[in-house]
Each structure stands twice: as structure tokens, then as C-alpha cells.
Amino acid sequence: MRFIKLAIIVFMSGLFFFSVLRGGDRTFAQENSAQEKNALDVAGFGLSLPERVGADDGALFAIQFLGDLHGSLDNCGCKGRPAGGFGKRVSYQKAFKEKLPAMPVLMVDSGEFLNDDRSTHGELKGDARIKNDWVLKAYDKFPVEAANVSAADVAYISQLIAEDSGKSNLPPILQRTISANIVKASDGRPAFKPFVIRTIGRGKPVKVAIVGLSELSTRPPAGLKIVDPLEAARLVVPEAARAAEVVVVLAHVKSDVAARIAAEVPGISALIVGNGELFTPSIRLKDTLIAFTPSEGRMMGELRFYAGSKISVKDRFISLDGQVPDDPEGYELVVGQREARKVAYDRFSKPPTGDGTKLTIPAGYAGSQNCSKCHVGQYVKWANSDHALSSNPLATRQTELESSCFVCHAGVVHSDAMSREKPLGNVGCEICHGPGAAHVAAPDKSYGRIGDAESSCARCHTAKTSPKFNFSSYLAQVKH
């Protein structure tokens, strides 16, 4: 009985929610009767590429949008009728510019364009890094003018910034990432540009402010926090409206949050919403058009803006199905991402050396067994420690296993785990004491001293991988 009552409440709440969304502002709707019919304008299903572009209807400018790519430049992978993919996206963009050269256009992303697959310890997987690097490369080669940083994007972007250490070697697209509500935990200041301004339009160009918002779907990196997107919109949208004639918000939020932003924050011309939920037609709420991003790039969204006493906007969607050819330049990036992932997978999945039954010791290393010839007591203590058994947990983690695991668990001695460098097989003597082949060949007392043992341990025993790690107590367990 309680379950039935709960179901009725949920059902009635849903009816109320959608009635509010569908209602909108009657006065505004009467001026836009075609939009009020809620007809989904999708160009595709048998149309040629020029036909999908449509006619020049006098729009001042257009904004094309995608989102929720999850780090993939490839098609959706759908069985039978694969759709989407970066090659098809570029193909449509080129056809648009060729057929409508007088209509300026901006390309934007509503968020979650990067992959955020994590290992057991919460580290970004090596495959995710490869995918993300290629997405950033693609977004620069065929420029995305503004990319909204979602909770799933911020970890990798923050990692790149930290690794760059002020060297200014970051992909240019990172200068075009935006977020009004991802802030520094220390002082609450924005971690990214809250919005960007673009001047666009034929005849008399207009200034367009593009604002970024997201909600907390996964914990952000240390030092950052994601504040309430509605509260951030209340603060930032008025500022953006003072600087521009048109305000467009890219929001990676759930539908109900998007509805509240549109209802409670005036001054937004269009709200482009990505959230990975089931695609729904665009709706109007008061003076704001809410357009939902098709997931995984199966369709491209397009907004066209028109001059008048008040700049108006209409939406349309373009199917990127199998009838849309892949542009060679765009498809080259798809293939590049595929091949980079395959190379990394092959290095990881194939035996590292020989027939796979025995590991070949990397050059310069001797292997822990050679240490036992002189250091018997130390070897016995090591052989009964967790370090000697460090690769054992990998056997039970096959479904989530990936190459970065080998760095700490299997003694990979190369700094790039994706290179699948020959592993030592466990955390042996030489992981801490250094390559020992020369010492075995000519023993002396100069070998083996560890300058900074705590830093050496910290390479693997991080706050994420070993939250209970205490250097002094752990050292006592392995000291020999």
C-alpha cells in the first residue's frame, strides 16, 4: 500500500512538473505559435546533407551544440544503425558553411565532453586519458568556442593544469572552457571563466554571453567545490546580461534544475541542457527556450537567432545518421583516437615478453631473487611481506583492471604505464633501492641507500590508494 501511494505521488508530481513546463508564458507563446505546438524539428531521415542544412531564413547567427560525448569521438556504437561521430559532425559543419556562408555560426558543448572512468583507487584510467587528449585535440582543430565544464570534466582538466605547472603548454581549448559554479574551495573564487563574450551576427553584430553551469554529480578534485547552479545563475546571469545583448547558458544539470533556472533567473535567451537523460523536444518557459542536448552526438542541435524588437530564437536538430558521410579530416581524428587506444590496449593485454610464462627482467635490473644470494635474512622478510605479494590483488580485479595498476602493483619501472614496460612482477627490492644489476656484478657498499624513503613510498601510497598509510608504522613492517 505504501508503495502504491508513493507511485501515485510520483506520477502526479510528474504531471504537475510537465504541465508547468509545457505552459510557459502564454503571451510569448502566442507570438511563436509554431514553437508552441512542440513539434520536434529534426532534419534527417532520408534528406541529403544540403537539405539538412536548410535554407537561409535571415537569421542573424546560429549556435550549434553537442554534449555528453564521454570522451569519445566515435559513433554511438549502436547495433544496426550507428549514428554520430566526429567525422559526421565536421561534415555537417562544412556543408552549413558552404551553403550558408553569410550566416555566422558558433559551436559549443554543454558539458561532459571528457571521459571520467576511474580505477579502484579513484585515479583516472589510462584509456580515459588517451580518449580525452584526442577530444581536446579535435576541439582545437575544429574549434569549439565554449565548452561547459561538468563535474565529470573538471578532474582531467585540473590534472592537466597541475601537470603543466605554468609552462603554458596546455591545449588552447582550455582557454575556452567555462563554469560559473566550480569554485576554489579556499576562497570561493571561480576556477574557470564564468562566461565568455562572442561578437557575432551579420549586418550589425551583437554580443553573445555564454555562461557555464553544472551540478554535483561526482566529487570534484581537492581544492575545488561545485556550488548550487541556481544560486550561481542568479549572480552571474545579470552580470553577463549587462555585458551582452544575448545570454546563452550551457548547463549540465537535470531537467528539473534547468526548469528552475529558466523560471527563476530572467534574462536568459536560451538554456542548452545536457544531462545524459532521455532526449526530449525543446520547451519554452517564460522568455527562455530550453533545448536539450542529444546524447553521444547522435544529433546536432542548432539554434538560430533573429532580429526584431527583441532577439528571438528557434531550435532545430540535425540527425547525424549513417546517410551523413564522414568528413575525411574529421574522421582522421576518430581513427587516431581508435588507434591510440588499441596500441595501449595491446601493450597492456599481450604478454610483456617471451611466451608470457616468465617475465624478462628489465635492462639494468637483477630481480629480487639475485639479492637473496647475499642478503638472505632481508630477502626472507621481504618475501613474507605484502610487497612481495603486491600483484596478487590484480587477479580478482580483471573486470576493472587497466594498465596504470601495474605501476604500483607489478613493479613497472617506466614512468608511462601505458607503454607496458617490462614489469618486475611485484614491489621487489629494486623498486626502493634502484636498479641492481651493476651491484650484483660488482658488489660494494655504495649501492642501495634510499635518500628520501618517505617520498619514495608516497609515489604509490597516496591519500587515495592508501588512506590509512602512516609512514612510520608502515616502515616498521618492512624495515630490514
Which pLDDT tens digit goes with each residue over 293-307? 988 888 999 999 999
* Euclidean distance between CA atoms 457 and 424, whole angstroms: 17
- Reply yes or no on whether the pLDDT at 2 is more than 70: no
| CB 336 within 8 Å of CB 314 | no
Which of 342, 377, 392 corresponds to the end of one domain? 342
Distance CA 297, CA 109 (A): 10
Residue 128 C-beta-side C-alpha neighbours within 13 Å:
22
Looking at the structure, tell me whether residues 408 and 326 fall in a common domain: no
CATH number at residue 380: 1.10.1130.10
Helix (H, G, I), strand (E, B) or coil at 94: helix
Region 312-321: mean pLDDT is: 95
For the chain, give the mean pLDDT. Answer: 82
| Matching residue, cell 504537475 | 16
The single residue listed with the C-alpha cell 536538430 is: 317
Examine the pLDDT at 135 and tell me if it is beyond 80.
yes
Same domain assignment for residues 304 and 198: yes
- Does 2 fall in a domain? no
Question: 117 vs 480, which has greater pLDDT?
Answer: 117
**Is residue 337 within 8 Å of 134, Cβ to Cβ?**
yes
The answer to whether the CB of 348 falls within 8 A of the CB of 127 is no
Residues 333 and 367 in one domain: no
- Cell, residue 108: 559549443
Q: Helix 229-243 crosses helix 255-264 at what angle (to 10 degrees)?
A: 50
Q: Is 359 domain-assigned?
A: yes
Q: pLDDT for 16-30, tens place per residue? A: 344 434 433 333 333
Residue 15 φ then ψ, to 5°: -60, -40
CB distance 402 to 417 below 8 Å: no
In this structure, is residue 15 part of a structural domain? no
> Which residues constitute the domain of residue 173?
26-342
End-to-end, the C-alpha distance of the chain in Å comes to 66
**Model pLDDT for residues 92-121, shown as the tens digit of each residue:** 999 999 999 999 999 999 999 999 988 777
SS3 of residue 209 by DSSP: strand
| Element containing residue 109 per DSSP (H, E) | strand 105-109
Q: What is the pLDDT of residues 357-413, one digit of tens each?
A: 455 567 788 888 888 888 878 777 877 888 877 766 665 555 455 556 767 776 665
Which pLDDT score is estimated for 374? Answer: 85
Angle 126-141/154-164 helices, nearest 10 degrees?
A: 80
pLDDT at residue 420 in the model? 41
User: pLDDT at position 122, please?
Assistant: 76
364 with 321, same domain: the answer is no
pLDDT band at 198 (very low <50, low <70, confident <90, very high): very high
Question: Which residue would you say has higher pLDDT here, 184 or 472?
Answer: 184
What is the CA 384 to chain-centroid distance, rounded? Answer: 42
Q: How far, in Å, CA of 126 to CA of 417, rounded?
A: 8
What are the b/e assignments for 14-53, b being 16+ CB within 10 Å? eeeeeeebeebeeebeeebeebbeeeeeebbeebebeebb
Which residue, of 342, 369, 404, is where some domain finishes? 342
Task: Specify the CATH number for the domain of residue 108.
Answer: 3.60.21.10
Find how far residue 295's CA is from the centre of its chain.
13
Q: What is the pLDDT of residues 213-247, one digit of tens each?
A: 999 888 888 899 999 999 999 999 999 999 999 99
How confident is the model at residue 73, as a pLDDT?
A: 96
Is 212 a residue whose pLDDT tops 90?
yes
- Do 114 and 241 fall within a single domain? yes
**pLDDT of amino acid 476:** 78
The gap from C-alpha 448 to its chain's centroid, in whole angstroms, comes to 43
Place of cell 619514495: 456
Q: Which three cell numbers stand for residue 157?
A: 582538466
Its pTM stands at: 0.77
Of 39 and 408, which is predicted with more confidence?
Answer: 408
Does 459 share its domain with 375? yes
